[in-house]
Amino acid sequence: MLSPLFPPPARRGRKPVWPVREIVNAIFYVLRGGIPWRLIPKDLPPKSTVFGYFCRWRDTGLFTRINRRLVTMDRERIGRQASPSAAVLDSQSLKTTESGGPRGYDAGKKIKGRKRQAMVDMDGRALILDPQPADIQDRDGAIPVLRVSRRSFPFVEKAFADMGYSGDRPQNATLVDVEIVRKPKDQVGFAVHPKRWVVERFFAWISRNRRLWKNPGGDDKVRRSLPLCCIHHDADQTHRTVIMNSRTDSEFTAKLQIRETIAFETKKAEFVEKLLILTIGPNTFVDRETVYAWREAGVELIGPVLSISQISPVAVALVVGAIIDLDLDIDALILLTDQLDALGIPAIFAGSQTGKAQTSGFCMSREREAIAAIMAALLAQHKVTKH
């Protein structure tokens, strides 16, 4: 999934000695461990090779493109639209090293260094990151972030922020409506604020990388390198780092697909306005044409999941049909069918045979047209209407 984004080897000169995967591993090793480039272990590519590729990819904007790709992929994986319509703004101040670059003094947090302005979606995925001197007020630092977001994520209509972003300047900078989430009047001490708390979790995620505990390098280099920390987290969360691996055997692919599970929490299900068709098992992927066709009809194909327990009760109430992988273990199939029958959810099987009808409305088919026709019949039978 990510391999096509990496540039191909040069036509001239010596052929590459190290695979791209090993170079990416070395970059992530430096990012997570916070070590200097010269201390890269001997079992990884040499420092000159790794740092050369890192600078090349950073300067060409590759990290930003990969981060945008991971964000859209992960959003589609859990049933959301690829481009978000709402976001959260916040900043994080931290000290810098003795190296050059712009810096300032944040009087509020008493930190001399830089400030990271961040825009994340409603699940905490990084959309825009921008390093700035720490003495820039949040209301002024939000303006470049909002303007850049219009190019990468043009469908963002609203951004939630704290009191530091109040004022006319952020509100009038773009068409994005900046909504201030205020503290309750009776709040004492720390409290989790609705909508805005996800950006604090994002800062906690990226702070696991020791390389980011202090902000080294110049402002422009830091700006182009920051998406790398988001790539590391997103790839680790969704297990997509293994996509760049050279292994392609069927067992490995099945394990990878099993890992691609969906967890619809209640807070996420509140945003779902469409009916859901659930796919269960590693071999129930449906092509994009069918996904988009059902989406236009007001029905969202989601999954694959491994069991009903991975879906919250709020989301289960929206499920109107299921596609089950016939290659699952027989005990798992019996358990799944019993659970679906108890919930009153109709289902079909997708197995290795095609066109063979079964009793109780179940069939075995991998053909897109057959699955679409059967699900349409099931929806019509149960008189399902669009929300």
DSSP state letters, 112-154: EEEEEEEEEETT--EEEEEEEETTS-HHHHHHHHHHHHHHH-T
SS3 percent helix, strand, coil of the chain, rounded to 5, is: 45, 20, 35
Q: Kindly give the residue spans of alpha helices, DSSP state H, lying in 127-244.
A: 138-152, 168-173, 197-206, 219-225, 227-238
Q: Which of 293, 262, 278 is closest to 348 using CA atoms?
A: 278
Q: What dihedral do alpha carbons 57, 61, 65, 71 form, nearest 10°?
A: 100
pLDDT for the residue 300: 72
pLDDT of residue 61: 84
270-296 average pLDDT score: 62
Q: Say what the pLDDT of residue 28 is.
A: 87
Architecture of domain 80-183+192-222 in this structure: 2-Layer Sandwich (3.30)
Is residue 273 pLDDT above 60, yes or no?
no
Q: What is the pLDDT of residue 339?
A: 81
Identify which of 169-183, 188-202, 228-242, 290-304 has the greatest average pLDDT: 169-183
Is pLDDT at 358 greater than 80 in this prediction?
no
139-153, 244-258, 366-380: least confidently modelled range: 244-258
Q: What's the token pair of residue 162?
A: 């704290």
User: If phi over 0 gives left and psi between -120 and 50 gives alpha, with beta otherwise, what is residue 368?
Assistant: alpha
The confidence score (pLDDT) of residue 259 equals 35
Phi and psi (nearest 5°) for 86?
A: -140, 150
> Three-class SS of residue 322?
strand
Same fold for the pair 80-183+192-222 and 270-386: no
The predicted pLDDT at position 188 comes to 73
Structural domain spans, the chain: 14-60, 80-183+192-222, 270-386
Mean pLDDT of 45-57: 91
Structure confidence at residue 89 (pLDDT): 94
Q: Which amino acid is at 386?
A: K
164 neighbors 194 (Cβ within 8 angstroms): no
Average pLDDT, the chain: 73
- Asked if residue 131 lies in contact with residue 120, where contact means CB atoms within 8 angstroms, the answer is no
Specify the CATH number for 270-386; select among 3.60.20.10, 3.30.70.240, 3.40.50.2300, 3.30.70.330. 3.40.50.2300
pLDDT-based confidence at 365, cuts 50/70/90? very low
Please state, for a pLDDT cut of 70, what percent of the chain lies above it.
66
